[in-house]
Amino acid sequence: MSTPLQAAIEAARANQALAVAGHTDMVWGHASVRDPEGRGIWMKASEWGFEEITVDRLVLVTPDGEVLEGTQKRHIEFPIHTEAMLANPSVNAVVHTHAPMANAFAALDVPLRAISHDGIPFVRPDVPRFTKTGNLIRTRDLGRALAETIGDAVGCLIPQHGLVTVGPDAATAVMRAVLLERACKVQLTAMAAGTLARWSNDEEIEAKNLDVWNQSQTYAGYNYLLRHTAPQGD
């Protein structure tokens, strides 16, 4: 079992990895990791960018929004993370970003297709859309509704807002955010050139989930991002 410090280090690295992947939106967006002692989540503090996050710029936040550890200000949208983890015990990490291609794609209200490897985790079934609001997810009720929208999926799009991805660990949640943004970008590019004609069928999707996005490949992509982040100390 990991320690709280290990969870905090993992959360800091996840935020930095998102910066390397191009998900930075100045000081907005956040990644979190479940506290192994069941107290809540370790998440990025407010008023810092992904690339600026170190362990001392994290906060331990309870589902009610109380900051148990850390001296920094917490984000308003902590319920995105806490409610997703309360709803699904297998979720140990959550990512929320304002990825521009995901936002642009969500505005079209069309199905996401497996045009490239990137889209494979999100198309069977189609990536959910949370449409109750495009505003900030600042209450536990909205957080619960978002968690219900995600259900057993790996994430969702929030039209007029951004994306959320979940995973059993930070590596998986971060890579899913990266892949979802890239899948949206590829489809937008293809649709700008003409009518979509080809994408992976169910058989190919199943094979690619095993061959392309197995745990080993997911970790390989995540480790690439980590190699380009600033070193994290204890």
pTM of the model: 0.96
First to last CA, the chain: 18
Pick the CATH number of 4-227 from 3.40.50.300, 3.40.225.10, 1.10.3720.10, 3.40.1310.30: 3.40.225.10
Please check whether residue 148 is in contact with residue 87, taking contact to mean a CB–CB distance below 8 angstroms: yes
Residue carrying structure tokens 């001392």:
56
10-residue mean pLDDT series, the chain (234 residues)? 92 98 98 98 98 98 98 97 98 98 96 98 97 98 98 98 98 98 98 96 96 97 94 51
Residue 121's closest CA among 36, 64, 206, 23? 206
pLDDT of 233: 47
Residues β-bridged to residue 164: 96, 156
Alpha carbons 234 and 18: distance in angstroms, whole number? 20
> Given this model, what pLDDT does residue 231 score?
64
pLDDT, residue 1, reads 57
C-alpha angle 117-133-44 in degrees, rounded to nearest 5: 65
Diameter over CA atoms, the chain = 53
